[in-house]
Structure 1
Amino acid sequence: MKNKMAFKQSGLSLPISQAFITILKSVISLPSKIEVNHHAVILNFRDPQYTAESGGFHPVEIRLIRCNDGWQFDYLTDFSFMGAVWPELEKEMDISWSQEYVWHYLMGDLDPEEGGALFELWQRNFIRYWKMKIYTVFVQSEC
């Protein structure tokens, strides 16, 4: 199953690069106790150096739901510190395949074309950061 692991979209259809899929496959293939009976997995990508004061690379959370022969995208959230006096980690960009939306905190809901363009840009940056070994990855399984 690991070699032919499929990634599917339902509802929303976005341009997903093979390089992004390769990253997800490599993370899911890590020894993380993802059992066959687990119905979903949450992947957290964190830059340990990221702070409100010095910046860094945004934390990212991706939830995948198990399908017959692989995984289906559920959501992807990119977080950033917001607020001047007491900055808090908040959603900067949120994508939901099942609810069919792409949202950005500065623009609100985006139509499919704009959302796809934003996602392509985000994806290229994420892949570069991954190649730079920025992220520490945490995998959480859901039964």
Structure 2
Amino acid sequence: MTIRIKHEGLAVPMSPMFTLYIAGLITPHENENAVTINFQDPNYSADDGGYHPVEIRLENEGDYWRFNYITDFTYVGSGYMAELAKDLDFDFDAGVFQNLFGIYPIEQAIEMFQIWETNFVYYAMVSEVFKIEITQG
């Protein structure tokens, strides 16, 4: 069975390359109700930087899978006081985009999503910087 991810008609357009990449990752979980995919750069730290951790959640709608959210995290603060916070959050269920400055209608994030997606695809597929963990449910 081929995993189909619904990406047509979303408030922020997604590239076929991105959705095919995600579909390939969740194929072993095709019978699950939902999956959460975590992408982590093992060397990312508040002091040294690196590639931001990303979390993507999808739900199985029977004939296709649907994105719930895509969240990109960053360290806020420095040293022992640093903590991970949402840097960019594309919440498709709520129809909102959130960054460190506020919450906006997701339609206002089209350009931001395109930039984020281009970078993410390069980091994940070309540079292969992420350790990937997929959880069910």
Q: TM-score, normalised by structure 2?
A: 0.89
1:11–1:100 contact (8 Å) kept in structure 2: no
Q: How does 1:110-121 map to 2 (within 5 A)?
A: 110-121=104-115
Instruction: Tell me by how many angstroms 1:54 deviates.
Output: 0.5
Residues 27, 111 of structure 1: CA spacing in aligned structure 2 closer, same or farther, 3 A cutoff?
Answer: same
Q: Residue 78 of structure 1 corresponds to which residue in structure 2?
A: 72
Q: How does 1:32-111 map to 2 (within 5 A)?
A: 34=29, 36=31, 38-85=32-79, 86-106=81-101, 108-111=102-105
Q: Which residue of the other structure, out of 8, 17, 20, is the alignment partner of 1:19?
A: 17
2:34–2:59 contact (8 Å) kept in structure 1: yes
Per-residue deviation, residues 31-87 of structure 1 (Å, max 9, x unmatched) = 4xx262x21100001111101111000000000000122210101110011013510
Residues 122, 35 of structure 1: CA spacing in aligned structure 2 closer, same or farther, 3 A cutoff?
Answer: closer
Gaps (5+ residues) in structure 1?
none
Residues 105, 91 of structure 1: CA spacing in aligned structure 2 closer, same or farther, 3 A cutoff?
Answer: same
Relative contact order (C-alpha < 8 Å, sep 6+): which is higher?
1
How many residues were matched structurally?
135
Gaps (5+ residues) in structure 2?
none
Residues 11, 22 of structure 1: CA spacing in aligned structure 2 closer, same or farther, 3 A cutoff?
Answer: closer
Per-residue deviation, residues 6-29 of structure 1 (Å, max 9, x unmatched) = 212599521100111121012112
Question: What amino acid maps onto 2:110 in structure 1?
Answer: G
Higher helix share: 2
Q: TM-score, normalised by structure 1?
A: 0.86
Question: What amino acid maps onto 1:117 in structure 2?
Answer: E
1:82–1:88 contact (8 Å) kept in structure 2: yes
2:39–2:132 contact (8 Å) kept in structure 1: yes
Q: Distance in 1 between matches of 2:8 and 2:92?
A: 6
% identity of equivalent residues: 34
Q: Distance in 2 between matches of 1:35 and 1:20?
A: 18
Residue aligned with 1:91, SS? strand
Q: Distance in 1 between matches of 2:9 and 2:35?
A: 19
Residue aligned with 1:92, SS? strand
